Amino acid sequence: MNTALHFPTRHGVLHAEDIPLSDLAQQHGTPLYVYSRAALQAAWQRYESAIAGRNALVCYGVKANSNLAVLHEFQRLGAGFDIVSGGELARVMAAGASASRIVFSGVGKQAWEIRQALTAGIKCFNVESADELTRLAAIAQEMGVRAPVSLRVNPDVDAKTHPYISTGLKDNKFGIDIRQAPALYRQAQQHPSLEIMGVDCHIGSQITEISPYLDALDKLLTLIDLLKADGITLRHLDLGGGLGIRYIDENPPHPADLLNPVFAALQQHGLDNLQLILEPGRSLVGNAGVLLTRVEYLKHTEARNFAIVDAAMNDLMRPALYEAWHDVTPVQPHADASTHTYDIVGPICESGDWLARGRSLALAQGDLLAIQSAGAYAFSMSSQYNSRPRAAEVLVDGSQSWLVRPRETIQDLYAQERIIPGPD
Ligand code: LLP
């Protein structure tokens, strides 16, 4: 996806759609997350065109960016949702989602979360262990309902991505060993409170090749054949999320590059009736957002040059956690500053608090920078570490902008905390 389309430079100033980012920083302060509605729509459109005329459902992976305005936009566009907690279920329902389009993933579903999802009437639980299946069956029985289930199987394929975001290897905590799946399916089939819906896998994130998906699909198709021999038929096949985006120079596949061979394989297997589910997160939102931050100080030391900015690892933790690369673009470059190689760092008391390293930039104090590709796993992973209020979020549509989450106040930081009485 071309980010310049939704974050264009006009008259030397970086914009979000038709609004200069400098205006938004002026109005709302920094650090500030700015999202483009057109970019969300364009990313959605890529999936929509890839599934046109097919029996398929795209369930947005909520954890990537769970702001209600973003969820509502995808709901409006026709998305389902992939959730991993009771909190995410509450969010998507508040955004107007239909429960019948929600799938619930995650290795640690608690009893209250299972009850909440059964009460809502979600489409499917992606069950990740034998223990979870037992708990789910017991709760459904006690509630007098049938729980719709898929097993999330671990196909043991290498997604060829960062080890922290690879989930389909047998060393990972995710999913059920595919060799044990048939026995668990038989168990599920016999339980009156469970209704088998499908099979699920999710092999990792920021995947830039389609071969790992096709390897996983092969293994799922073999499993489906085994199940069929046992008289177990499925209604859907969920391939998870994981398609990557361009942060630097990656060339991730278009959703159609992935889906065309998938649909062909299903057809070849006589499985055209199976609904295909996908759970993309990053590829729907990653390049639809930037993080705006202002240069507080420039510090030139013997070893390195630092640009100390007002955003930090609490706002965007991907560089600290994964050494992730995010492009850094001055909002309004100026000719009078000299160019240096800078580390862009935040004010937090940790050496790991950096947003970018070794970037050649001409900077002056007070400059505004846009940290690119900050729509996914950015605000949603933010914290208040060092008692820093979480940033505000703005959604832009053409020449209009909405504050979709105000900046937290200093009061918000400790409003829920209590001082206990002294011992005397
Ligand atoms: N479905 C399941 C079961 C998942 O665990 C995930 C992401 C997704 C879907 C969405 O995957 P996506 O399409 O966004 O790759 N914080 C990391 C990424 C962690 C991904 C966790 N699971 C990062 O910032 O790179």
What is the CA(279)–ligand 1 centre distance, in A?
A: 9
Mean pLDDT of 392-414: 98
Is residue 312 within 8 A of residue 279, CB to CB? The reply is: no
Residue ending a domain, among 215, 246, 280, is: 280
Task: Please give the tally of structural domains in the chain.
Answer: 2
Indicate whether 263 and 119 sit together in one domain.
yes
Closest Cα to atom 5 of ligand 1:
202
* Confidence (pLDDT) at 277: 98
Residue 313: inside a domain: yes
Indicate whether 269 and 301 sit together in one domain.
no
> Which residues, other chains included, contact 70 with Cβ-Cβ below 8 Å and sequence gap of 6+?
35, 40, 285, 395, 404
* Confidence (pLDDT) at 337: 86
Mean pLDDT of 31-52: 98
Instruction: Compute φ and ψ for 395, nearest 5 degrees.
Output: -115, 125
Is residue 394 within 8 A of residue 403, CB to CB? The reply is: yes
Q: What is the DSSP letter of 210?
A: S
* Confidence (pLDDT) at 159: 77
Is the CB of 318 within 6 Å of ligand 1?
A: yes
Indicate whether 264 and 217 sit together in one domain.
yes
Indicate whether 302 and 394 sit together in one domain.
yes
* Confidence (pLDDT) at 158: 78
Does pTM top 0.85 for this prediction?
yes
Instruction: Compute φ and ψ for 22, nearest 5 degrees.
Output: -65, -35
Is 59 labeled as catalytic in the residue annotation? no
Residue 143: inside a domain: yes
Residue ending a domain, among 280, 297, 320, is: 280
3-state secondary structure of 143: helix
Residue ending a domain, among 280, 299, 333, is: 280
What is the CA(144)–ligand 1 centre distance, in A?
A: 33
Q: Which of 59, 124, 201, 349 is catalytic?
A: 349
Indicate whether 184 and 324 sit together in one domain.
no
Indicate whether 224 and 324 sit together in one domain.
no
Indicate whether 200 and 163 sit together in one domain.
yes
Indicate whether 223 and 357 sit together in one domain.
no
Indicate whether 122 and 260 sit together in one domain.
yes
Q: Is the dihedral of CA 111, 113, 117, 119 positive or negative?
A: positive
Domain around 175: 105-280
Residue 359: inside a domain: yes
Residue 371: inside a domain: yes
For the chain, what percent of residues have pLDDT higher than 90?
Answer: 93
Question: Which tokens in the block code for residue 122?
Answer: 């979600």
Residue 29: inside a domain: yes
